[in-house]
Amino acid sequence: MRTALSACLGNRSSRRVPRLALAAAAVLTAPAFLVGPSAAGPSATTPAAAVTGSSTTTSTGAVSSTSVRAGVVDADARAAAGGDASPPPAESATAGLTTEQTRTRSGTITPAQRPPRSFCGGALAFGTVNNCGLIIGQAEDTWTFTTTADSDVLYVQVVEMSGVSLSIRVKHQEGWTACEISAYHEYLEQCRLGPAGTYTLTVRTASGSGKGGYTLSIESRRTPSACERLPEDVFSWASAGVGGTLPAGLAARCFTFDQPTDSKLFIAEPHLRDLTYLHAEITDARHQELCQTHYADFDCTLSSAGPYRIFIDHIDGKATAYNLRLPRISQPVGCSALSPTGDLGKAVGQGRLEPYRRACHSFASATAGQVQILVDQQALSWKLYDNAGGYICNQSSVQYCVLPAAGSYTLLVWNGNQYKALDYQVAVTAPTT
């Protein structure tokens, strides 16, 4: 470069070169040190003057003075012609490309999932039957009801009409769960509630799939929708009872009655083994359960004060005819009288018992003492009570059948054979000391 500049300065007397031309020459000769694309850097466009005016470098890296003089002459010629001494601008590297609008790739649009559709729900009233024709998939039917009593007990009857198994949940308005129940059961389905207020009952499919229908009914233990008073004759062993029909799907039907505290009853009808599939439950004045129907000849003692209520329902929620009998064991009425004799082989009473039925016989004794009792059918069982309903003995403890005092006594005979009615005869001896 010094050689080229010296040559230019040496000619100042013969040719006046403008200072602008000298500066241009210095700029134009600089890229000659780097030939090719690297002269302009990795991203810049190589100037046109550097490309056309570049010369071959020597092995030592020196630049030929000829290329420098050529650059100066070109600049001087442009200046003498009255033009700009600066080199012509480089052509754009993107010249000739068509400019297009930028296209933005759109993402996949996923439609929002619809919530499962519920076809049923609303307000529930005690003592009514609500029909839902369709529940499907993950749908959840929401029902509401209100109880006006604290610590109530809710009776629930859900009958699955077809298709799928159902699950039921009862929640208080504050969000806590009172109970979870299933549609099938063998007793009155009970749900213990908390404070008075509004509750939500939801019904859904147990598996979250499939479809079906159902009926729904609820009843309150403390504030039932209706409660019919029982006549006095239902407590007699000779009574035919009080009959009626339970509507299909009804949660429970309520009856009320009064009896002396500590009275002992037998829930003769409905009975769990009478093939009607009816169930009964007796409660006291505090709305606490005292007893319910059983598979055998169990007694029911009214151990706390009344008035009393008895609720009956059908296990499967079917429309069913019912008959209600609650014969009293203490101070019994309607029993067949016996006259004890001194001969055990002489019958003093007889009768016919249907399957799962109980018959009452009574006798009076003028003295205390041991008695012997014989029933000629081994398939039948019996129990002996005093007039207050106190148990004395049965067929398995006949050696202990000792009458504690003079008075009236009650003999109850039970047929536990489910296949046929049985005729029988009974003998009772006079007490001996």
Q: Are 262 and 303 in contact (CB under 8 A)?
A: yes
Residue 296 has pLDDT above 80, yes or no: no
Residue 216 has pLDDT above 50, yes or no: yes
Residue 96 has pLDDT above 90, yes or no: no
Rounded to whole angstroms, the Cα distance separating 340 from 389 reads: 20
Alpha carbon dihedral 62, 63, 66, 69, in 10-degree steps, equals -120
Q: Tell me, what's the pLDDT at 54?
A: 37
More confident residue, 344 or 217: 217
- At 126-136, the pLDDT tens digits run 999 999 999 88
Partners of 321 in the beta sheet? 245
Q: Are 219 and 152 in contact (CB under 8 A)?
A: no
Rounded to whole angstroms, the Cα distance separating 363 from 408 reads: 6
More confident residue, 68 or 389: 389
Instruction: Quickly state the pLDDT bin for 115 (edges 50, 70, 90).
Output: low
Q: Are 253 and 182 in contact (CB under 8 A)?
A: no
Rounded to whole angstroms, the Cα distance separating 49 from 31 reads: 9
CA angle 5, 8, 12 (to 5 degrees): 135
Burial classification of residue 122, based on how many CB atoms lie within 10 Å of its CB (0-12 exposed, 13-18 middle, 19 or more buried):
exposed
Lowest-pLDDT choice from 111-115, 256-260, 341-345, 378-382: 111-115
Provide, rounded to the nearest whole percent, the portion of the chain with pLDDT above 90.
Answer: 49
- At 163-215, the pLDDT tens digits run 788 889 999 988 899 998 876 555 556 799 999 999 999 999 888 778 889 99
Partners of 409 in the beta sheet? 363, 386
3 state DSSP class of 336? strand
Domains in the chain and their CATH numbers?
2-80 (no CATH), 121-220 (2.60.120.380), 228-324 (2.60.120), 336-428 (2.60.120.380)
For residues 103-109, give the mean pLDDT. 61
Q: At what angle do helices 19-29 and 2-10 cross, to 10 degrees?
A: 160
- At 252-281, the pLDDT tens digits run 999 999 999 999 999 999 887 667 889 899
Lowest-pLDDT choice from 80-89, 217-226, 265-274, 355-364: 80-89
Q: Which of 214, 155, 164, 227 is nearest to 189 (CA)?
A: 155
The whole-chain average pLDDT of the chain stands at: 78
Rounded to a whole number of angstroms, the CA Rg of the chain reads 54
Partners of 172 in the beta sheet? 199
Q: Report the half-sphere exposure of 429 (CA within 13 A, side-chain side).
A: 16
More confident residue, 113 or 223: 223
More confident residue, 51 or 79: 79
**What sections of 30-155 are H helices per DSSP?**
48-52, 65-80
Q: Is 0.85 topped by the overall pTM? A: no
Lowest-pLDDT choice from 37-46, 119-128, 327-336: 37-46
For residues 52-74, give the mean pLDDT. 39
Partners of 135 in the beta sheet? 212
**What sections of 103-142 are H helices per DSSP?**
none
Q: Are 188 and 155 in contact (CB under 8 A)?
A: yes
Q: Are 315 and 293 in contact (CB under 8 A)?
A: no
